[in-house]
A and B are shown apart, each in its own frame.
Chain A
Amino acid sequence: MNAVALIRRRAGRWALNGAATLSLAYILLPLVFVVWLAFFRQEIPSFPPEGYSLRWFAAILDQRKFVDGFSLSFQVGVLATVIGLALGVPAALCLARYDISWRAPLSSLLLMPLIVPGVVLGTSMYVFHVELENALDVDVIGTFYALVAGHVVIVIPWIVRLVTASLAGVDRTTEEAAQNLGANRWITFWRITLPAIRPGMVAGALFGFVTSFGNLEMSLFLVGPGRTTLPIVILQYLEWKIDPTIAAVSVVQIVLIAIAMLITDRYVKLARVV
């Protein structure tokens, strides 16, 4: 390779790395500023900050709506994830282990909630709840269980996707060997299949939980008066003002999600599944 080409390639490398760094900075910039603001001493987000303080984190607890929102989001997320596992893990087993016709359309259907826009999901579920309430004569609109049912729909795709991915890496002959050695189907499932899909289940559950916990657009249509999830509380607060308190709330959320991501990464290669 001649010198000009070498220089050209090296310059290309630098340009490429520079551009990549800029893009990454662009993605992270809003989070950096939210975290920064959470530690400001003054209440107004003006620059440069007059000093730094931790008091806004204590101030979160004084505002009931943040605590209530967090608690509701957490409950909905946990319940939706548990139901999502109960529905999604068997479905993933079926998709990965049985030669059924219709596999492709079934798998697309189960992954579809990922690409249906939140505002469409929210509005359509809302009118569905209206009709259900009229037809069954029970409270549906704005109830806790209606909200959970909506969240289960957006949790299932993650569980199906991650459990299917983890099963693809398991050699099917191990299961057949166990059955040849006299294990029945349940023993095979408990001793061979379940341990193999555990990483996928953990990752799917974490992704599902995080998706549910952070969901805003769909939940806006499903929450009842006086009972809102944390992302909606944050949105409503931001309509009114931006200050270090809301930044501190955001920091708590960012830290929780980062921990969930780091745990997930220990079980499955994130690059393969997202």
Chain B
Amino acid sequence: MSLAIDRQRSRLLTASALIGPATIFVAVSLFAPLAILFRFSLNGFDKATKTMVEALTAANYIHFFTDPYYTAALATTVKIALLSTVACLVLGFPLAYVVARTQSRFKHLLIIAIVLPLFVGNAVRAAGWMVVFGNKGFVNAGLTGLGLIDKPLEIMFTEKAVIIGIIAVNLPFMVLSLQSVIEGIDRAVEEAAFSLGAPPLTMFRRVLWPLALPGILSGTILTFILAMNAYATPYLLGGPLFKMMAPLVYNQFTQQTNWPFGGAIAFILMAVTLGLTVVANLLIQRRSARRTTA
């Protein structure tokens, strides 16, 4: 009896020794900094000396929501994130489906082609779009060459460029999320719908979409979070004055050295992202529940 307890205790000890260091390291590295940042966001800031002033106030949060400059930045960020997420879903689904269903020997190369841009980094991909969109870039040179325009289109440093760039950055995440779920859906289910006479679109709507819903959810949540927090893409393609939340946080920290306000913006960004994600999750789940009972 006591031997069994001893063995159990020694197993628990081994398990803790194995997982303890990583857990403590990650927990301390994530939560201690977040707690300090939150505390800082309640501090004041002396503009004249550019130093933080110890305080316990919601002034930074109130300042954010009462200044139209910042609320406009929040609105732009949410709008761009929503637009790009919907676009990623529409563009990503066909590709995810083809990758999931292909029998090709080169499937792994296809997946590398999708994963590679993820790891290359946002700055390099922004550089690619700069070549495409610049005043003498590919699009403008092409359209001028064809005689379609007299003077170059302004694409760089516009919202359009930022949205196009963010979609390209997030599309691989959506494709991978969808692909892994579609791969788990038995092909026979699709065939059954077809042999019962369903046209492709009906099959998609009534069979594939509901079954792929977990992947659709995780993919949209991931791409939405990433779009809300995008930094390099809006900074390089939208220009230094383009107002989105992540560049604002960076600007408060490095240019203004206003840590309290920068911290407040970071927390507002996190709260809004989390809030919208939860709401969307509930809405979609309720809708799909209603559909299955109907």
Contacts and interface: CB of A to CB of B under 8 A. Distances in A.
Pairing of A with B: yes
Interface stretch (B61-69, B229-237, B283-291): B229-237
Contacts of B134: 45, 242
A150 B115 CA distance: 23
Interface of B: 11-12, 14-15, 17-19, 21-23, 25-27, 29-30, 32-34, 36-37, 40, 91-92, 94-95, 97-99, 107-108, 110-117, 119-132, 134, 136-138, 141-142, 165, 167-168, 171-172, 175-176, 179-180, 183, 194-195, 197, 199-200, 222, 225-226, 228-229, 231-232, 235-236, 240, 246, 249-250, 253, 259, 262-263, 266, 269-270, 273
A59 interface: no
A153 to B, nearest CB: 5
Contacts of B98: 16-17, 20
Q: Chain B's interface: helix, strand, loop or mixed, by majority?
A: helix
Interface in A20-51: 20, 22-24, 26-34, 36-37, 44-48
A23 B92 contact: yes
B23 A257 contact: no
Interface stretch (A87-95, A173-181, A197-205): A87-95
A188 interface: no
A55 to B, nearest CB: 18
Contacts of B37: 123-124, 127-128
Nearest to A16: B94
A270 B115 contact: yes
Contacts of A121: 30, 33
B246 A217 contact: yes
B26 A109 contact: yes
A31 B120 contact: yes
User: Which of A16, A30, A211, A246 counts the most chain B CB atoms within 10 A?
Assistant: A30
Nearest to B15: A98
B124 A120 contact: no
A16 B190 CA distance: 15
Nearest to B124: A250
Given A30-B129, A48-B141, A117-B225, A220 B18 contact: no
Contacts of A247: 127, 131
Given A30-B168, A271-B108, A91 B266 contact: no
A109 B23 contact: yes
Contacts of B142: 47
Contact of A235 (B141, B236, B253): B236
A127 B249 CA distance: 13
Contacts of B111: 270-271, 274
Contact of A216 (B23, B112, B121, B249): B121
Q: Chain A's interface: helix, strand, loop or mixed, by majority?
A: helix
Interface string A128-160: 100100000000000000000110110010001
Given A90-B18, A149-B29, A269-B108, 5 more contacts: A5-B199, A20-B97, A113-B26, A262-B112, A271-B180
A133 to B, nearest CB: 12
B115 A8 contact: no
Contact of B123 (A45, A120, A131, A234): A234
A15 to B, nearest CB: 8
B130 A123 contact: no
B117 A100 contact: no
B131 A45 contact: yes
Contacts of B25: 87, 152-153, 156
A128 to B, nearest CB: 4
A124 B30 CA distance: 8
Nearest to B197: A5
A94 B128 contact: no
A31 B128 contact: yes
A131 B36 contact: yes
B116 A257 contact: yes
A51 to B, nearest CB: 16
A125 B37 CA distance: 8
B117 A211 contact: no
Contact of A261 (B33, B115, B199, B262): B115
A110 B236 contact: no
A31 B125 contact: yes
A141 to B, nearest CB: 12
A58 interface: no
A172 interface: no
5 nearest interchain CB pairs? Answer: A30-B128, A124-B33, A117-B229, A47-B141, A128-B33
A261 B125 CA distance: 18
A19 B141 CA distance: 26
19 contacts: A16-B94, A23-B95, A26-B167, A30-B168, A31-B116, A32-B128, A87-B25, A100-B19, A106-B23, A115-B222, A115-B225, A123-B37, A123-B253, A127-B259, A214-B121, A217-B229, A239-B236, A271-B99, A271-B111
